[in-house]
Copies of this chain bind each other. A is one copy, B any other.
Amino acid sequence: MARWEPNARERLERAALALFAERGYDATTVNEIADRAGLTKSTFFRHYADKREVLFGGQDMLAQRFSDAIRASAPTATIAACLAAALDSAAPAFTPERHDLALQRRALIAATCELRERELLKRAGLSSAIADALRARGADDTTAHLASELGVLAFSTAFARWAEPENRQPYTEIAHTALRDLQARAAALGAEPDVRA
């Protein structure tokens, strides 16, 4: 029946999301996901390394985009400008059609510790992609670390705000606001007097 029909990955993702929404993540079996997609468990694990991974399909592409955007920035660009470019490069993932999907996904992740853990791993992947790209531009290690954390923080707060049900603001606007906000707080923190005796 469904065998040999195209888009196995997408079918699996759709089936998983639907079942997770119906019964929750834990109560859903990989077998059930594969069944609904007209496939088998074997095939599921051929497309996704994990049961978790089915919810994080595009995440690795994001790291690539961030990295590319920073490496494509002008050599004279400030670090903040690089971060802004990175955030902008993620914009294609935030179309209005995906809004409801993102909402649903966020609820799932928030409800399941296992998924939150995986999300942190993906975030760490984004962070090191940014840090590597910044180091490649000559940034020192400490700056690269701090800036990448700041960038990821801006990204995730921007994503969270964008995904809110009542939000109608475009992603790039939110992201720039978040980044500028964090930059201002960083300045304030950095301006505090030295602590040690």
Contact = CB atoms under 8 A, between A and B. Distances in A.
Interface string A7-43: 0000000000000000000000000000000000000
Interface of A: 78-81, 84, 113, 116-118, 120-121, 123-124, 142-143, 145-147, 149-150, 153, 157, 176, 179-196
A187 B187 contact: yes
Nearest to A178: B142
Classify the interface of chain A: helix, strand, loop or mixed. helix
Contacts of A179: 195
Contacts of A185: 142-143, 146-147, 190
Residue from the set A176, A179, A182 with the largest chain B CB neighbour count within 10 Å: A182
Contacts of A147: 185, 189
A81 B195 contact: yes
14 contacts: A80-B194, A113-B121, A117-B117, A117-B121, A120-B121, A120-B124, A142-B185, A143-B185, A146-B189, A147-B189, A176-B195, A176-B196, A180-B194, A186-B189
A193 B145 CA distance: 20
B182 A142 contact: yes
Contacts of A80: 189, 192, 194-195
